[in-house]
Every structure is written in C-alpha cells, then in structure tokens.
Structure 1
Amino acid sequence: MSDTRAFVSAIVAGLAVTGLSVYLYVQGTTGAVAAEDGPGPNLVIEVGGATSGTIVIDLLPDVAPRHVAQITELARTGAYDDVVFHRVIDGFMAQTGDVEHGKFGGDLELAGTGKSGLPNIPAEFSDLPFQRGIVGMARSSSPDSANSQFFIMFALADHLNGQYTVVGHVIEGMDVVDTIKKGGFDQNGAVTDPDRMVSVTVEEQQ
C-alpha cells in the first residue's frame, strides 16, 4: 500500500472522466470480503479476457437513486456489454463503464474519457466509506458529472469518502475482481489488452 499512497494524486485524477441499505463488510488478514445482499437490484457482470468469472453487485437505490437508475437503464439496454476495464490500479480500484470509447475490439485510445447518451447525474454523496468491495461512480472535476463509468475498490481509500457517489457493493465475485488485469502505476493504471464486461444484466430482488 505504500506504493499506492505515493500515487494518491494521480489515482484520484484517474477516477475522473476527462472532458439507506444496510450492509456488512468483514475483512480478515487475507482481505477477503463478505457482504450482505440488500433489497437490490443486483448488477450481474460476466467478465472475460485474461480473467473470467461473475461479479454480482448489490445496488443501493436508497443511497443513490438517480445513479442506480442510470446504471440499470444502461445495463438493460446492453450498453455495458463488451466494455473494458480500462484503468485498473493494484491495491486501489478497477474502473470500467465507458460505453462511448471503451468497447472491446475498438480503438481504446480515448477509453476513460467518454460517457453514454444519457444526461450526467447530480452528485448523491453519502456517508458510506470507500472500502474493499464498494462501487463508486467516476466523474470529472464537477461533482455533478457522473454518467456511466464506475469503479470497484480493491482496498480502503478514505480520501474518496464524500467525494464520489457510492452506488453499491460487491456481494459475489471479489476473487474475480482481484484478478482483473492491472495497468502500470507509471501509466496511471491504463491497461493494455484489458479484460472486459462481456455482459451486464440486472436482477431484481424478490
């Protein structure tokens, strides 16, 4: 983590897009996470590439209703399918969701700078801390600029608290998250030949 902290300024910039549910986390010495499934809905991500597997995210509509509504709309229309994890920083987070410039098989030079055709979303900051397994929305310098990109935390990052909108937490598949292909610190986590979200679906809770 000492190397990661040395890159805090660059890392926070990397979360930018250039241009109350009850949950429980238990962290042991291995950093393993257990989380309770809330009322949902759940976002189910099938990951492909060098890593494969399923990630299930319990979304928190009572914490960030507008953000959750946008994410679920994009998932239901297939906008997230084949979008890459364009920025992945070991010990920090994995970022994806650029539906404009982050499609697998396309020119990824601008991955991380795009958004969807839907409007940007006003900030819905909360008191939920950015710890392992938390999912937050990426944004530019404007608090009200989140759109489609999101990131999954590998570890605790208190400096993000109250600065980015929390939209959910991983309830299954943190082992898959941990093995998503990483980028280099010198490239601010930009990934060459990145893993991708093959499909993203929404499951409503019963």
Structure 2
Amino acid sequence: MGNLSKKWSTVLVCLVLMGGLFLTGCSSPSATSSDANTSQNAALANYVPRLEGIATVEMKIKGSPVIIEVNGKDAPITAGNFVDLVERGFYNGLTFHRVVKDPQPFVAQGGDPQGTGTGSFIDPQTKKARYIPLEIKLEGDEQPTYGQALGQQGTAIDKTVALKHSRGAVAMARSQLPDSASSQFYFALSDLPFLDGDYAVFGYVTQGMDVVDSIKQGDKIDSAKVVSGLENLKK
C-alpha cells in the first residue's frame, strides 16, 4: 500500500503541474522532428544571448540572499537568457505568482512581468516577446537537443539528463509548446524527477535554500544581479 500511495501522490503532483506550470497565452513554433532538430542544433550554435561557461547570480528575496550557480556549459541558451534578463534588471520587483507546497513541496514560480502567469519578456528593440527553445542536454551528448520534449511528455529515452530536477534546481516554465519559455522560472522545492527532459534546468541554488523554502505566493524578488561570470555572456 505504501508504494501505491506514493505512486498516486506523484500522479497528483503531475496533475497539479499540468494545471499550472504551463503558461497560457504564449505562442511559439511547435516541436521539430529529430532530423530537423539536428539542423536546428547547428542553426542555434551562434544564438544570442548565450552563456559560455558558469555565472553566479545573487537574488534577494524578502531581504535575504539566494545564490544561484547558472550553468551555461550544459544549457547555454537557457542560461544566457536568464543571465541577460538579470543583467537588465528585469526581475527586480517581480512577484512569485505561483507557489505550490501541498500535497508536497513542488515549485515556487516567478518572473512574470504581469504577475498572472501569462506574461513574457518583451524585447525593447523588437517590441516582441522573446522566446527560447526547449534545451535539454543528455549525459554523454556533446550538444543539447532543442525544441523536443524528451521526458514523460515527449520521446521516451534511456539516457539521463545532464541537469536534473533535484531540490534547489532552477528551471524555465513554458506552455504546452516546447519553444515557449521566455522569462518565467521556478525553483524546485523537492526532487522532481518526473520533470526531467520536459523542462529546462539551467542552474542550482548553492546558498539560501532556506529562503527559497520560505517563499509565499505574492512575495517579491527585491533584486537580482550577476556577481561573477558576466564575461561569459555573449550578446
């Protein structure tokens, strides 16, 4: 009975995810085929902004610091997008519009300029929303796979992902379309392996997880700044 209860608990969390982690009102290209994805990988080789290495971000929440190590080695586009937004001051003052802790610790999600779960980053130069492709790197692969869910929502694979949804992971929220992530991100409040391959992890909390655990819906990001590794950002 214990294993059955645990299974149903995981199913319930998955249903919570389907109802809320997806963004709404976003549009982007649909997922590509594997052949097209190979070409897309090459086309994205010079995508900017991108992070070619590691950066450290300090995010202050309710006056307390949270240190995030951002991994541009395994998720260069996703990490580059985040670091670029941090450098712009985009996240300063935004709220955590969705925090799920029941029936078990799940996610604290923020980064929406509208605070509704439907907003995106609007590039001031193009006046359009900036979306990034779903970026998943598998262990043993030289490059990430783009535009294709590789977990429970997509193609089932035997390999494990390089960046896992362990407690303290920082990842991008998106709509049902793979290439629809923009500015909304979430902290994993516990190990969430059923999200691996379907959502792009790009970093981990290295200090201040107690602060992350204390986040309540409506809490704000006081500020976010890049404290090291900004030279790795290519724009």
TM-score, normalization: structure 1?
Answer: 0.74
Return the alpha-carbon distance in structure 1 between the equivalents of residues 94 and 86 of structure 2: 11
Name the SS for the 2:57 alignment partner: strand
Confirm or deny: 8 A CA contact 2:94 2:110 kept in the other structure.
yes
Amino acid of the structure 2 residue aligned with 1:95: Q
Greater Cα shift, 171-180 or 59-68: 59-68
Return the alpha-carbon distance in structure 2 between the equivalents of residues 14 and 153 of structure 1: 14
Alignment: residue pair count: 164
Q: What's the CA shift string for 1:83-119, capped at 9, x where partnerless?
A: 10110111111101112x02xxxxxxxx111100142
Name the SS for the 1:46 alignment partner: strand
Return the alpha-carbon distance in structure 2 between the equivalents of residues 138 and 170 of structure 1: 17
Name the SS for the 1:83 alignment partner: coil
Return the alpha-carbon distance in structure 2 between the equivalents of residues 4 and 16 of structure 1: 20
Name the SS for the 2:135 alignment partner: coil
2:66 aligned partner: 55
> Is 2:152 the counterpart of 1:117?
no
Confirm or deny: 8 A CA contact 2:54 2:73 kept in the other structure.
no
2:58 aligned partner: 44
Q: Which has the higher helix share?
A: 2
2:46 aligned partner: none
In 2 relative to 1, CA 147–4 (structure 1 residues): closer, same or farther, beyond 3 Å? farther
Structure 2, unaligned runs of 5 or more: 26-52, 124-129, 138-160
TM-score, normalization: structure 2?
Answer: 0.65
Return the alpha-carbon distance in structure 2 between the equivalents of residues 96 and 4 of structure 1: 25
1:173 aligned partner: 208
| Cα deviation, residue 9, structure 1 | 1.1
| Cα deviation, residue 11, structure 1 | 2.1
Pairing of 1:124-135 with structure 2 (within 5 A): 124-126=135-137, 127=161, 128-135=163-170
Pairing of 1:139-150 with structure 2 (within 5 A): 139-150=174-185
| Cα deviation, residue 12, structure 1 | 3.5
In 2 relative to 1, CA 137–95 (structure 1 residues): closer, same or farther, beyond 3 Å? same
> Is 2:220 the counterpart of 1:196?
yes
Return the alpha-carbon distance in structure 1 between the equivalents of residues 164 and 77 of structure 2: 19
2:199 aligned partner: 164
Sequence identity of aligned pairs in percent? 35
Structure 1, unaligned runs of 5 or more: 20-38, 103-110, 182-190
The structure with more radius of gyration: 2
